[in-house]
Every structure is written in C-alpha cells, then in structure tokens.
Structure 1
Amino acid sequence: MNPSTCISFFFTIILILNISHAISPNSGSKLYENVCNKAKDNERCLKLLESNTQITLAKDYLTICKLFLEMALEKSKNAQNILKTFMIQNPSSLAIKQCATDDYNGLITSFKSSLDELVDDPLSANYDAKVAGDGPQACDRALANEKIVNPSISTINDEMTFLSVVGYLATSYLRQ
C-alpha cells in the first residue's frame, strides 16, 4: 500500500469510529441523565438517581429501571409506615386512614407490578409506574376534602408522585 492510501484508510477508520460514537445511545451522557432530561424537574431527578451509585453506573435501561423501581418500592413502603404512624396518632381521620391503607397499598402494588413486568411486558411496566402516582394524589384529595393540612404528608405525597413520574420516564425507554 502506498503512503497516501494508508493515510486515506487511517482517516476513514477514524471517521467511522467518530460517527459510530456520535450515534451511540449514551454518547456524551450517561443513561440515567437521559431519563432526567425528560423530567420537568431535571435537577431533582438527577439528585434522586445520583443517590444510587448503581443507577449511575448502569449500562442499560433495563438495569436502571430495575434498580430504580426497587428503590421506589422501598421508599414507598417507608412512606406508608410513616403514614400508618399518623393514622395511629389521628384515629378519627378517615382521610389519613385512606392514605395509609388504600392509597399507599395501591402505590406499592403498582411499583411492584412495574418491577415484575420489566422484562416480559415493558408496556405494562411503564403503565404501572405511571399509575403508581394515583395513590399519593388520591391521598392529597382525601386530605383536602377533610380540610387537613399536614405539610409532612404533603411532602411525602409529592415525593411519591415524583417517584412515579421518574419510573414512568425510565420505563418508557424499554418500549423503544
């Protein structure tokens, strides 16, 4: 091979590598950042996902979804336990009882279903991650109807609703 052919061949290889890198799914960013780029509150999403180093190191969306939903499931169970404490402290409140039982049972069940369906039915996993947020929203409505203002419960509901949103965004990558 003559020198000009070698140089031409070398530049062709470099060009191909650059193009393939440019179109790769995680070029310039990590996969979890792609999920957060779709969130209305990007910074909050990044802070949430970056709190789990396994998520930040994940090389595929299935792993991110699995790790995130496990985290969301744990956080929702902890939130329900806090609500059960409020229920014991306020036994006459039907709204708090609804939150601690029906609404948060639905939240936990939806996250669990989403986690269980990741591989076999990503569309249902995506749907279940989305509807997980219905429980905290129903809780907020029940509290408002009973004219209960409890910033702690409102914060918990907001956090759980946000987990649902991020779960929905993450699982949406499985449908692509």
Structure 2
Amino acid sequence: MAMAMAHPLIPAFFLLIIPLLFLTHSLSPAHAASELVDGVCHESQNYSFCIQALESDPKTPAAKDYMDLAVISLNLGISNTTDTRSYINDLYESPETDPSKKPALKGCISGYDGAVGSFKSALGELKEDALTANYDAKVAGDGAVSCEDQLASGGVKDSSISARNQFTLSLSNIADVITTHLLH
C-alpha cells in the first residue's frame, strides 16, 4: 500500500503563517493601546492608579497614539475635578457643615475652579499648542494642592476630600506625562 506524500511546501507554509498570526495579534489596536498605556503608566508617579484610570475609559483600547491618550486623560481630569468641585460645594452649602470649616471649603472650591479650567484649557490647546497644553495639564494639580493647604490651615480633616485631591494630582501627573510626549 502506497502512502501519500505530503507536499514539501506545507511545513514551510506553517512555519511562515504561525509567526504572522502572532505578529498580527501583537500589532492589533488593543494590544498597541495597552503597550502605550503601560509605557505611560510606567512614567507616571502611580503605576496602578494610572492603569486603572486609563482603562476605566472605554475609548482607551482604541487609542492609537499619545494624542488619543491625551484626550482621554484630560477628559478624565475634567470629569474628576468637576465632580470633586461639586462634592465640596455641596458640603459648603450644607446647613449641617460646621461654619468654622466653610472658609477652607470655599478655598477648595476656588482651587477646583482653577483645576477644572486648567484641564479644559489643556484639552482645547492639544492640537494647536502642545507646550501650553502640557503646562496646563501639569498645573491642574495645583488646585488640589491649594485645597489640601486650605484644609490644613483651617484645621479641617476630611479624608474623602484628601482622597479626591490625590486623584486630581495623579490625573494631572498622567496628563502631564502624556502631553510631554506630544512635544517630541
């Protein structure tokens, strides 16, 4: 009984196709985005927060470059600082809030007005003036620092505001790292 011989090019075909399948997977947009995010987050001050923050946005897997990630990070900053400002404002306006804490809360509201404005300015400047966008992304964190200073000088201890201040600082740092890449 004669055995059928396999075509001699079949093993060569598989040796060529298998690496191409792995290459195609590694070049997929989601993989490229995850490498981009991983690189940015390694440069940030808080890797795990950075990963969680950027991956919380459903647009992140489709990010192709630093510009896409910059838009995502700045929108996260706008959302966070707007929410934090509202939270602090609600505390300030609450009749249950100790009146002695109100000056510190008012200072925090002012700081967060600046933080929201800085993130929004950075987003608006991305395509026209990356250097100014980078500066605004970096100084957006100043509102959180100012708020923390206001709380300390007013003798106010509020862990929820302090945690939000830390988030703002981290988001500012992430946006700073990303927009720095737009300068090159």
TM-score (norm 1): 0.80
The answer on whether the counterparts of 2:78 and 2:119 sit within 8 Å (CA) in structure 1 is yes
Q: For residue 43 of structure 1, what is the aligned residue in structure 2? A: 48
1: CA distance, partners of 2:57 / 2:173: 17
The answer on whether the counterparts of 1:114 and 1:125 sit within 8 Å (CA) in structure 2 is yes
Q: For residue 144 of structure 1, what is the aligned residue in structure 2? A: 152
The answer on whether the counterparts of 1:49 and 1:56 sit within 8 Å (CA) in structure 2 is no
Secondary structure of 1:175's counterpart equals: coil
Q: For residue 142 of structure 2, what is the aligned residue in structure 1? A: 134
Unaligned runs of 5+ in 2: 1-22
Picking from 38, 49, 58, the partner of 1:53 is 58
Larger Rg: 2
1: CA distance, partners of 2:108 / 2:183: 32
Equivalenced residue count is 155
Secondary structure of 2:45's counterpart equals: coil
Displacement after TM superposition at 1:71 (Å): 2.1
Displacement after TM superposition at 1:64 (Å): 1.1
Displacement after TM superposition at 1:161 (Å): 1.1
TM-score (norm 2): 0.77
CA RMSD across the alignment = 2.3
Q: Structure 2 vs 1, CA of residues 62 and 28 (structure 1 numbering), >3 Å: closer, same or farther?
A: closer
Picking from 96, 107, 127, the partner of 2:105 is 96
Task: Look up the equivalent residue of 1:82 and give its one-letter code.
Answer: Y
1: CA distance, partners of 2:161 / 2:130: 31
Query: Deviation digits for residues 19-38 of structure 1, max 9, x if unmatched?
Result: xx9xxxx9795212211010
Displacement after TM superposition at 1:86 (Å): 1.1
Unaligned runs of 5+ in 1: 1-17
Greater shift, 55-64 or 90-99, is seen at: 90-99
Q: For residue 10 of structure 1, what is the aligned residue in structure 2? A: none
Greater shift, 39-48 or 129-138, is seen at: 39-48
The answer on whether the counterparts of 1:55 and 1:68 sit within 8 Å (CA) in structure 2 is no
Q: For residue 73 of structure 2, what is the aligned residue in structure 1? A: 68
Give the percent of matched residue pairs that are identical in Structure 1 and Structure 2.
34
